[in-house]
Structure 1
Amino acid sequence: MDVRDLSYLQAIIRTGSVTAAADEVGRTAPAITKAIRRLEQETGTALFRRAGRGIEPTEAALFLTRRTQGMTEQLQIIRRQLTEISRGQHGHIRLGVAATMAAIFLPGFLSDLSVRHPNISVSVINGMNDVLRAALREGEIDIALGVIDRPDEGGIETLVITEDQVRIAASLRHRLQGRPLAAADLSGESWLLPARGVAMRQWLDAAFTASGLPAPIAQIETNSIAVLEDLIAGSDHLSFVSGLKMRLPHVASRIGPLRIEGFTMRRQIGATWLQGAEDQPTVALVIERLRAGSSVIRDGAAPA
């Protein structure tokens, strides 16, 4: 028996007439009548009888409806979910997210995605950019959200969502705040920095070398951005901090950039995925939403 024919039978019993059932399900009355005839041929029994000017269900029709009610609902759900899967509207996505994107973009993006596509589940892995790139190559994540430092890397697709300026920063109460500085003013300062293998640390070391100064020596090294922020705010150490992060209210109230030229690292922030990943409907849909989110930020709206 066809699930649609069974649903039409249920609609007639529910509404009381073929015409009303046709209006409810969006079909013509003759199409509904043909469906009932098919069911009668398959079951070998009449499903309706005349009652005055209308019709009423036979005991066989009521029995068939009771026994198939849950079945037809489940099959309709399965059919709808299969359609959603084919369109990428039902599935699972694995995101790898670096600290800056986790702070400025991810909460608003996931909130929007969950409202628009509640049947897509998401798992989030946090990590530094080099760790996320390796996870992407190994197939452990579908999309990496972080710094795009190798836009021409083979086998990789990228989407720039926004741009960032990483600057030397300190607690707002630091004695170097609020006045123009020269590179020499940084000599002898203590530092809180990420590990030397991190791109922004390497850039800072190179900038110091280019200025004729030794690379800063970190008194404390950590790849935890949250730990860095708390330590900077509560100490006299200098650090190298994302400008996007310093725009966030809970950071801007404690940490600020120093006024010094020649030590600003400009970088692109966005999404990275393997070529061919968009062939997966769910990945393609999420990338589409990422593109929409990137246009909002580029048009000047504050990141969520």
Structure 2
Amino acid sequence: MFDSRHIKTFHEVVRTGSYSAAARSLGYTQPAISQQMKALERDVGTPLFTRVGRGIRLTEAGEALTRHAGTILDSLLAAQQQISAIARLRTGRVRLCAFPSAGATVIPEAMARLAAEYPGIRVELQEGEPPDSLRRLARGECDITLGFTYPGLHVEVPEDLVEIPLLEDQLTVLLPAGHPLARRRAVHLADLAAERWIAGCPRCRANFLHACAEEGFTPDIAFTTDDNLVVQSLVAAGVGIAMMPALVLSFLCHKKVTGRAVEPHTRRKVSAYVLRDHLRIPATALVLDEIKTVAAARVGC
């Protein structure tokens, strides 16, 4: 493996024609130049220069190295410039995986803030829910994951991941606007025991079934879907109601649908997850900061 300093010195010796001229150009002593060239010759395993009178001449190996030295130095300079740009947040790429309701609420605002101040940072958005999204993060397929947990429902977090709590998301019930209970500010879950229900993702459905069991009934689940827009359309059509996180309320698309808080109050915890070592990567840390800022502004909303 070549030392880049030796390649730079070699390139200057060739350009100036002598050790002494290279020493003056680089600000070294002539013995220092000589020592670097001897070290480079040891690395390559063959002489690079021969003495001709009081001057020097390139060997065949030296001529071969000369043809590549400029390219090597240009590549090193380009790498240094690119790394500097990444460190100074002028450029960078972050792969962000989020569950749908976070992807439709927290993420757009955070990305707008990021684009306004750091337009060179590119974010690749992925969609996924825990525990699959956490496993994806542990495998290195993304850099940040937004996930959620419900009280009493354990989710296994790989030990090399760091959890960063963001907010607590109140659960609500989506009702047709003309539903008799839609006039209330909050609805007791037990009062909805006779309703037909639309259930969501497996973990949300597990929490929903647990909450209903706590209130003494088994819900009549008529439909299941992971698509929030499909859930809204089904509720708007009057074919069922649904328990949904409050984040969904900010992008209700149907005037015929309304959301009401559920009693007893249940909240899911929304967190960001990242590999511990990635906290030291400037672009990843920046994206996390923007997400935390947006999430903090939503607390209490």
**Cα gap change, 1:83 to 1:233, in 2 (>3 Å):** same
Matches within 5 A, 1:92-103: 92-103=93-104
Q: Under a length normalisation based on structure 2, what TM-score does the superposition of the two structures give?
A: 0.64
1:79 shift after superposition: 5.7
Contact 1:148/1:272 (<8 A) preserved: no
The one of 147, 160, 165 aligned to 1:160: 165
Query: Residue 141 of structure 2 aligns to a residue in which SS?
Result: coil
Matched position secondary structure for 1:144: strand
How far off its partner does 1:137 sit? 1.8
Deviation per CA, 1:25-73: give whole Å up to 9, x if none. Answer: xxxxxxxxxxxxx7xxxxxxxxxxxxxxxxxxxxxxxxxxxxxxxxxxx
Distance 1:284 1:249, change over 3 A: same
Give 2:17's aligned residue.
none
Give the deviation of 1:265 after TM superposition: 2.1
The structure 2 residue matched to 1:178, chosen from 174, 180, 183, is 183
Structure 1 residues 267 and 281: alpha-carbon distance in aligned structure 2, compared to 1, 3 A threshold:
same
Matched, 1:211 2:215: yes
Output aligned runs, 1:265-276, within 5 Å: 265-276=266-277
Opposite residue 282 of structure 2, the aligned amino acid is P
Match of 2:92 in 1: 91
Which one of the candidate residues 222, 225, 230 is aligned to 1:222?
225
TM-fit CA distance, 1:172: 1.2
Query: Which residue of 257, 263, 270 corresponds with 1:261?
Result: 263
Match of 1:193 in 2: 199
How far, CA to CA, are the matches of 2:179 and 2:78 in structure 1? 61
CA contact under 8 A between 1:171 and 1:236: conserved in structure 2?
Answer: no
The alpha-carbon deviation at position 240 of structure 1 amounts to 0.8
Match of 2:138 in 1: 137
User: Residue 104 of structure 2: SS of its match in structure 1?
Assistant: helix
> Retained in 1: the 8 A contact 2:95–2:142?
yes
Q: Give per-residue Cα distances to partners, 1:243-280, cap 9 Å, x unaligned.
A: 122144646x4422346522x32122231112222133
Query: In 2, Cα distance between the equivalents of 1:219 and 1:266?
Result: 24
Alignment of 1:22-41 (within 5 A): none
Could you tell me how far apart the structure 2 residues matched to 1:230 and 1:160 are? 32
Q: CA deviation at 1:119?
A: 1.7
How many Å apart are 1:98 and its aligned residue?
A: 0.7
Deviation at 1:182, TM superposition (A): 5.3
SS of the residue corresponding to residue 85 of structure 2 reads helix
SS in structure 1 at match of 2:292: helix
* 8 Å contact from structure 2 (residues 165, 272) kept in 1: yes
Structure 1: 4+ residue segments shifted above 6 A? 74-78
Provide the TM-score with structure 1 as the length reference. Answer: 0.64
The residue type equivalent to 1:116 in the other structure is E
CA change 1:236–1:249 in 2 (3 A) is: closer
SS of 1:173's equivalent in the other structure is coil
**Root mean square deviation, CA, Å:** 3.3
**Distance of 1:131 and 1:152 partners within structure 2:** 10
Cα shift at 1:237 = 0.6
* Helix, strand or coil at the partner of 2:216: coil
Aligned residues: 227
Contact 1:97 1:146 in 2 (8 A): yes
Distance 1:288 1:84 in 2: 19
Paired with 1:294 and 1:221, the residues of 2 have a C-alpha distance of 28
Q: How does 1:36-75 map to 2 (within 5 A)?
A: none
- Preserved CA contact (<8 Å) 1:97 1:144: yes
Residue equivalent to 1:67: none
8 Å contact 2:131–2:156 — kept in the other structure?
Answer: no
- 1:146–1:269 contact (8 Å) kept in structure 2: yes
CA contact (8 A) 2:131 2:155 kept: no
Q: CA deviation at 1:151?
A: 8.9
State the partner residue of 1:244. 247
